[in-house]
Chains A and B, each alone.
Chain A
C-alpha cells in the first residue's frame, strides 16, 4: 500500500521532545489513540488473524462457514504438495525477476545514465512520460496494454508488421504482464538512480575519462561502487512491491487457464472465487513471511547505507 517512504533512508529526527504545549501524557495518548485503533484493527489484526485462519478449514459457504474446525498444519501440508501452488510461485518468480529485478532496474538505470547530461528539455520530456506511466491508475494502464497487445488492431503487431497478428496475451501472457509492469513501474528506479548518479563525484568521472577508460570500465569501476547500495535497496523495494502486485489480474485475470496465475491472483481465486478461506489463509501467511523477510533485509541494508554514507 504505502510503504516506500523509507526509500531514501528513514532518518528519524532526534529532536529533544520537550512538552512545550503542555500536552501531558494523557492527552498525548488521546491524540495517538484514533490512529492506533485504525492501524490496530485494520492492519495489525488482519496480519495476526491470518495465523489462525490458515490453521482452520474456514470456507465462505457450507458447514465450515458456520463452524470452522481447527486443522493444524493441514493447509500448509496441502499447499506444499499442491502443484498449482508451486506453479503460481514459479510464475511469481518469473514476474518479479523479469519485470522488477531485470526490467525496471535495468531500464531505470539505463534511462538515468543516458539522460544524466542530456539537454534539459529532452531529459524533462522523457522523465515526464515515464512518470505519467507511473501515476495513471492501474485499471487504465491495464487497458492501455490490452489495446497495445491486441491480436487484430494492437499497436505492437502493427509495428512488427504482423497480419494476422500474434495474440500476445493468450500465447505469451507472462511476457504481457511483465512488459506492463516494466512500463508502469520504471519511474521509481529511474528517479532513484538519477539521484544516486548525482552522488558520483564528477572529478572521478573526469579522471576515468582522461585515463582512457571505456564506458563499461567507467561504469564498473567508478560509478558502480558509488551506487551499489542504492541498487540493493531499490531492488529490494521493487521486489517487495512487484511480489505483492495484484494489477496483472486486470490484464489476464491469471489466464488463459492458469498460465499467468501469480500468487496474488492465486490467493484471490482460491479465497474469493473458490471460497476456501482456510487454505488461502495459509498461502497468505507464506506471502506475509516473505514480505517480512524482504522488509527486514531492506531495513538492514538501508541502515548500513546510512552509516556508510
Chain B
C-alpha cells in the first residue's frame, strides 16, 4: 500500500496541476483587457488602462455585434419558450396518442441532426427562403434545434404541477386559455425561467449557425465578429479582443451564477453543447 504521506503529496500535485491547467487561460481574460500593451502572455497589466474598452466603442461593428447577439438570444428565447410551453402543456394535459414516443423521437432527432451534420441543407434552405443575412433566419434555425429539449424539460416540469388548480378554475367557468394564462403560467414560472436562461445561454455562445448564415458584418453577433478584430498591420488587435471577450463573456457567467444560486446546479438544465 502507498504510504499516506505519498498519497497526500500526490493529491496536492494533482490538485495543483488541475488548478493551473484550468485557471491559467482564464487569467489572460482577466488581465489583458486592462493592460496598455497586451501580449499573449499571462501577466499582470504593465500599465493599468481602460483604453481597450474605449476601443470597443470606437470600433465600427463591436457594439452592434453585442446588440445582434442580444436580438438573436431574445428572439430565439421568446419563440422557444412560447412554443415549447404551449406544446409541453398540451402534451402533459391532453390525450395525445404516441406522446412519449414522439418526445423521444424529437430528442433523438435533435441530437442526430446537429449543426455540423445539417450545415449544408440548412444553408441551402435559408438560401432558398431568401433569409441569408437575416436575424430571423438564424432565430428559426436555432429554435428548431433547441425546441425538442425545451419541450422535454418543460413537460417534465408541468407534469409535477397538481391538476387541482386547473380543475377548480374550470369549475368556475374559466376558458382553457384563461386557465393557461392566469393559473398555469404563474405556477410554472420557475420552469419557464430555466428554459429562458438556458436558451439565451445557448444562443449567446453559438457560432456555427450565425457564421454560415450571416455574411454581412453589420448583422453578425459577437461570437462571429470577434474573429475579425485585426489591426491595420494584420496582426490580432489584442487589446480590443481581450476587452471585447471579457464584456461578451460576462452575461453568460452572470446568468449561470443566477440560475445556480436560485435553483442549485441542475444537472440536465446546465448542459450546453
Question: By the criterion CB–CB under 8 Å, are A214 and B146 in contact?
Answer: no
Q: Name the A residues within 8 Å of B113 (CB-CB).
A: 43-44, 46-47, 288, 291
A12 proximity list for chain B (CB < 8 A)? 100, 103-104
Q: How far is the CB of A190 from chain B (nearest CB, A)?
A: 10
Complex Cα gap A306–B67 (Å): 44
The distance from the CB of B67 to the nearest CB of chain A, in whole angstroms, is 16
**B200 interface residue (CB < 8 Å to A):** no
Let me know if A46 and B271 touch, CB within 8 A. no
Stretch at the interface among B10-18, B45-53, B55-63, B185-193: B10-18
A24 contact set on B, CB distance < 8 A: 94
A140 at interface, CB cutoff 8 A: yes
Chain A residues 104 to 148 lying within 8 A of chain B, measured CB to CB, are 107, 110-111, 114-115, 118, 122, 125-126, 129-141, 143-148
Interface residue from B21, B93, B115, B212 paired with A20 (Cβ < 8 Å): B93
1/0 per residue B234-273: CB within 8 Å of A?
Answer: 0000000100010011001100100000000101100111
Interfacial chain B residues near A150, Cβ < 8 Å: 40
Q: Which residues of A contact B34 (CB under 8 A)?
A: none
In whole angstroms, what is the CA distance A58 to B227 when docked?
30
The answer for the CA separation of A110 and B13 in the assembled complex, in Å, is: 13
User: What is the minimal beta-carbon distance from B208 to any residue of chain A, in angstroms?
Assistant: 5
B114 on interface, CB distance cutoff 8 Å: yes
As a 0/1 sequence over residues 177 to 207 of chain A, the CB contacts with chain B under 8 angstroms (1 = contact) are 0000001000010011001000000000000
Assess whether A139 is in contact with B226, with CB atoms less than 8 Å apart: yes
Q: Per DSSP, are chain A's interface residues mostly helix, strand or loop, or mixed?
A: helix
Residue of B nearest to A147 (CB): B40
A11 → B minimal CB distance (Å): 9
**Inter-subunit contact A1/B273 (CB<8 Å):** yes
Interface size on B, residues (CB 8 A): 108
Q: Are B120 and A281 in contact (CB under 8 A)?
A: yes
Q: How far is the CB of B124 from chain A (nearest CB, A)?
A: 6
Once A17-B93, A25-B95, A264-B116 are accepted as A-B contacts, the answer to whether A136 and B252 lie under 8 Å apart by CB is yes
Within A1-45, which residues are at the interface with B (CB < 8 Å)?
1-8, 10, 12-13, 15, 17-25, 27-29, 31-32, 34-36, 38-39, 41-45
Contacts of B114 in A (CB 8 A): 1, 3, 244, 291
B66 contacts A by Cβ under 8 Å: no
Residue of A at shortest CB range from B162? Answer: A20
Is there a chain A Cβ closer than 8 Å to B9's Cβ? no
Q: Is the CB of A291 within 8 A of B19?
A: no
Q: Of A20, A36, A155, A192, which contacts B41 at CB under 8 A?
A: A155
Contacts A46-B122, A118-B15, A267-B119 given; indicate if A153 touches B41 (C-beta within 8 A). yes
Determine if A27 and B124 form an interchain contact, defined as CB atoms under 8 angstroms apart. no
In the complex, what's the smallest C-beta–C-beta distance from B127 to chain A, in angstroms? 8
Among B95, B107, B116, point to the contact of A244 (Cβ < 8 A): B116
**Does B5 sit within 8 A of A, measured CB to CB?**
no
B94 near A5 (CB under 8 angstroms)?
no
Tell whether, in the assembled complex, residue B256 and residue A135 are in contact, meaning their CB atoms are under 8 Å apart. Answer: yes
Q: Does A292 contact B (CB under 8 A)?
A: yes
Residues of B within 8 A of A (CB): 1-2, 7, 11, 14-15, 18-19, 21-26, 28-29, 32, 39-42, 79, 82-84, 86-87, 89-96, 99-100, 103-104, 106-125, 140-153, 156, 159-160, 163, 166-167, 170, 176, 179-180, 201-202, 204-205, 207-208, 212, 222-224, 226-227, 241, 245, 248-249, 252-253, 256, 265, 267-268, 271-273
27 contacts between A and B (CB under 8 A): A1-B273, A3-B110, A4-B268, A6-B107, A7-B267, A17-B95, A17-B96, A17-B99, A32-B86, A32-B90, A38-B143, A44-B113, A50-B120, A53-B121, A114-B18, A129-B19, A133-B25, A133-B26, A136-B29, A137-B252, A140-B226, A143-B241, A148-B40, A152-B40, A155-B40, A267-B116, A272-B212
